[in-house]
Chain A
Amino acid sequence: MRLRIVEDGVRTTVEQAIHKSLTACLQCSKCGGGCAHTEEFDLTPRQVVESLLDCQDDKVLNSRTIWLCGKNCTGCQAVCPVGLPLNEINAVLREEALARGIEPKYQQPSLVYHKFEHCAKHRGEGEASESIFRGEA
């Protein structure tokens, strides 16, 4: 899945709401290191900012991070060397996601790899499976 970098998106909305430019982010990862939720996040707070700057709107709005972020916790903001209010950013993104009709997500999908490919029944393609054995000597 190759991402395409395009023009400004939700980034401007966020910047207007927090009265700060996201470009100030140093990408130092201090926010994610101290966060209690990091393990459950799909994007770390740093990656949220980076994705916003890259204008990957869909990716950010569809992520779990924005819903999992503690609403009143300011742990990341307290340690941020440039003082970006990450929890506020996530709050703005939650509103934006709701406005776009994106359902909240909390559950982490299973990262266990299941392989069904050898079994045609699981693909519902019985006729293709026939070809496997056709002509076997």
Chain B
Amino acid sequence: MADNFLEAYGKETSRDVGTRTMNYFRELFSLEMPLGRMMKMMPGMIKFATASKDTREDLFKFMPQMMPMMKQAFTGKKEE
């Protein structure tokens, strides 16, 4: 009964699968904001800003909050 999936995976052990799964979830649930992730967010924010006037205003209100985060993402250091 065990044949099917053991054959499908070949030489890979559950340990390999476990590591892969763990890396996937680690990335998925990460709360950090590295540059790559920040850049991925940009198109969404631009889309939001162009949706209407009040959305743009709200986003601009957020800008001062965002600057230190951008800085941190670029330099990779946490600002004190």
Contacts and interface: CB of A to CB of B under 8 A. Distances in A.
The interface residues of chain A, by DSSP majority, are classed as loop
Nearest to B3: A39
B42 interface: no
Interface residues of A, number: 5
A39 B1 CA distance: 6
Interface residues of B, number: 4
Nearest to B4: A111
Nearest to B2: A39
Contacts of A112: 4
Contacts of B4: 111-112
Contacts of A111: 1, 4
Nearest to A110: B4
A56 to B, nearest CB: 19
8 contacts: A39-B1, A39-B2, A39-B3, A42-B1, A108-B1, A111-B1, A111-B4, A112-B4
Given A39-B3, A108-B1, A111-B1, 5 more contacts: A39-B1, A39-B2, A42-B1, A111-B4, A112-B4
